[in-house]
Amino acid sequence: MSEEIILSELSLEDLYELMKEDLYDGLAEEIEEEVREALARGEAPYDVLTKGLVAGMEIVGNDFRDGILFVPEVLMAAKAMKAGMAILRPLLAETGAEKIGSMVIGTVKGDIHDIGKNLVAMMMEGAGFEVYDLGINNSVENYLEAIEKYKPDILGMSALLTTTMPYMKVVIDALKEKGIRKDIIVLVGGAPLNEAFAEAIEADAYCRDAAVAVETAKKFMQIRKGVKV
């Protein structure tokens, strides 16, 4: 089952296959080597991103959603992804490759819990999104300021406490008041939330976990791009 692998001897197809597997196992150094190898063979940075890293993270996301992988494994995978992205990001900027999307994310005011939110941020990055993480305890002003600054496609809000989740409505109401609610996709998540709550506060969707968040974000981005074209 185990054999030494010489990267330069692999076919391109096997190289991408290996990248997905090493991402699954959270092997950051290997990912770096493989990304460099692919680039050395003349692959476009955007192809390395989508065929290798994003495709690999999709498998991770699916298995996380299905309960086969859990938080530690996903974090390892996300770290490996990050290592690969560090190489690709400047190249992607240079080539002006199409962006998958961008997101501002933060835990709402009064709430200081962020592990779940961090996981969503990493998975979103893993799916190729630009993510601006505002951290914990965010007021309406923080969100609005970040939205103005980064002009994200998506706003993600998280709450772990029953008592802090109503603040999401405060933020959404503020977006409406400023007349920018329709310009942005609002995704919400956190332990005490559910779909009914998301609907009641007029968020675009409730995301049960990080994997669902990525799926939902992609779905909305497709609709958004479809409309824009």
Task: Candidates 40, 141, 192, 223: give the one binding another protein (CB under 8 A).
Answer: 192
Residues in binding contact with another protein, number by CB under 8 A: 45
* Distance separating alpha carbons of residues 183 and 109, to the nearest angstrom: 23
68 binds another protein (CB under 8 A): yes
Of the candidate residues 40, 86, 112, 223, the single one contacting another protein (CB under 8 A) = 112
Which of 40, 41, 70, 86 binds another protein (CB under 8 A)? It is 70
CB 76 within 8 A of CB 43: no
Q: What are the start-end ranges of the H helices in 25-54?
A: 28-40, 45-47
Residue 37 or 111 having the CB closest to another protein: 111
Rule CB under 8 A: which of 24-53 touch another protein? 24-27, 30
Quick one: which of 17, 40, 20, 137 has its CA closest to 81? 20
**141 makes contact with another protein (CB under 8 A):** no
Which span (35-43, 139-147, 194-202, 215-223) binds another protein, by CB under 8 A?
194-202
- CA dist., res. 31 & res. 46, Å (int): 16
Tokens representing 25 are: 């196992």
Residue 82: count of CB within 10 angstroms of its CB = 16
- Where b means 16+ CB within 10 Å and e means fewer, 168-187 reads bbebbebbeeeeebeebbbb
Q: Is 166 in the site for another protein (CB under 8 A)?
A: yes
The window from 44-52, 63-71, 126-134, 176-184 that contacts another protein (CB under 8 A) reads 63-71
**Type and span of the H or E element at 89:** helix 71-95
Question: Which parts of this chain interact with another protein (CB under 8 A)?
Answer: 1-5, 18, 21, 24-27, 30, 59, 62, 66-68, 70-73, 75, 109-115, 118, 136-137, 160-164, 166-167, 191-192, 194-197
